[in-house]
């Protein structure tokens, strides 16, 4: 029996990679060697979807989740793309290999590998506020209300806020994934979850000063309960020794409060499921100054990309 290597990339390109020429974003994806790419924020500030140009440059196939709209009040001119009032609209999934089907709920694609094996790739981008780490730091960001980390019910407040912001969207994606899992085919889920993981915000990590308190975040709990595994934590099980921060990459240009440093956190994920699917390596892509495993002198995003390399047994 031989094995197949598959590289899966989760990459929030930050408003269509608008801060730098799009070639920079394409370079990051190309250098990663990814076979499957979950892109979040595929539209630029003019609401133009950058997916076709990125895919063409890489020679990839793609499916995009976006809505054609010409409503002038949203700034769209002509037949351009704008993000709907859900972040599920601002993302794309790219594949080096042929796309053979789409999941019942539309959030995933089936891909046929050169070996003939078929795998599923899902991609999501959960809503960006209220952002619990900002709430715990009392940073006034959109609709987030402050949470006193010393309050007796601080963890319960944080969990409730996360559920309000993300439960509906993640349940849609997980419903879609659960309809695929009985097939036994490997499943991968990428995304900017805009919520940390319960695997990171542990009591030990709080005592080490990485976080203000332990929080049993609900979204990561739901994903694992559905039968998926966190690729980063499978490879690096100790959150104190290897926090694996993906946010922010460099200096976040739209920080809500410049007087308060943006708290570093791990909010970009690659999850997976499948019999005998093993994580071979996990790397972050980002700025040279961010100590990323793969670094770029001119990195175009405010998120580090996350690359997971898997080994799949061939039948």
32 touches 285 (CB < 8 A): yes
pTM score, whole prediction: 0.92
Q: Please report whether residue 116 resides in a domain.
A: yes
Q: Is residue 252 part of a domain?
A: yes
- pLDDT digits (tens), the chain, 315 positions: 568 999 999 999 999 999 899 999 999 999 999 999 999 999 888 888 899 999 999 999 999 874 433 333 344 443 343 333 344 558 999 999 999 999 998 889 999 999 999 999 999 999 988 899 999 988 776 567 899 999 999 999 999 999 999 999 999 999 999 999 999 999 999 999 999 999 999 999 999 999 999 999 999 999 999 999 999 999 999 999 999 999 998 766 666 666 667 789 999 999 999 999 999 999 999 998 777 999 998 899 999 999 999 999 876
* 212 located within any domain: yes
Query: Tell me, what CATH number does 157's domain have?
Result: 3.60.10
> Would you say residue 2 lies in a domain?
no
Whole-angstrom distance, CA of residue 58 vs CA of residue 196: 31
- In angstroms, the first-to-last Cα distance of the chain is 7
**Is 9 inside any structural domain?**
no
How many Å apart are CA 156 and CA 153, to the nearest integer?
A: 5
Q: How many domains does the chain have?
A: 1
Q: Is residue 123 part of a domain?
A: yes
- 11, part of any domain: no
What is the DSSP annotation of 195-225? S--TTTS-HHHHHTTSSSS----HHHHHHHH
| Domain residue limits at 124 | 22-33+49-265+276-313
Does any domain span residue 8? no
């Amino acid at each position: 029996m031989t094995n197949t290597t598959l590289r899966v990339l989760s990459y929030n390109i930050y408003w269509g990679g608008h801060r730098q020429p799009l070639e920079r974003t394409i370079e990051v994806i190309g250098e990663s060697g990814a076979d499957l790419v979950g892109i979040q924020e595929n539209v630029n500030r003019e609401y133009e979807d950058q997916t076709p140009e990125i895919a063409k440059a890489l020679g990839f196939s793609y499916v995009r989740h976006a809505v054609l709209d010409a409503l002038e009040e949203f700034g769209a001119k002509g037949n351009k793309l704008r993000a709907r009032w859900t972040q599920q609209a601002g993302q794309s999934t790219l594949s080096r290999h042929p796309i053979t089907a789409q999941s019942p709920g539309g959030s995933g694609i089936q891909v046929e590998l050169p070996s003939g094996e078929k795998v599923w790739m899902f991609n999501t981008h959960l809503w960006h506020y209220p952002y619990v780490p900002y709430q715990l730091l009392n940073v006034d960001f959109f609709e987030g209300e402050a949470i006193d980390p010393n309050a007796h019910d601080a963890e319960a407040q944080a969990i409730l806020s996360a559920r309000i912001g993300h439960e509906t969207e993640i349940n849609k994606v997980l419903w879609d994934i659960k309809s695929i899992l009985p097939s036994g085919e490997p499943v991968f889920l990428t995304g900017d979850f805009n919520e940390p993981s319960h695997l990171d915000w542990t009591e030990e990590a709080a005592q080490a000063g990485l976080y203000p308190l332990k929080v049993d975040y609900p979204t990561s709990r739901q994903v694992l309960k559905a039968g998926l595994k966190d690729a980063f934590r499978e490879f690096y099980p100790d959150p104190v020794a290897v926090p694996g921060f993906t946010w922010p990459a460099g200096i976040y240009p739209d920080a809500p409060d410049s007087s308060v440093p943006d708290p570093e956190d791990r909010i970009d994920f690659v999850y997976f499921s499948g019999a005998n699917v093993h994580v071979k390596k996990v790397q972050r892509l980002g700025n040279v100054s961010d100590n990323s495993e793969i670094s770029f002198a001119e990195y175009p995003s405010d998120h580090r990309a996350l690359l997971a390399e898997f080994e799949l047994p061939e039948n």
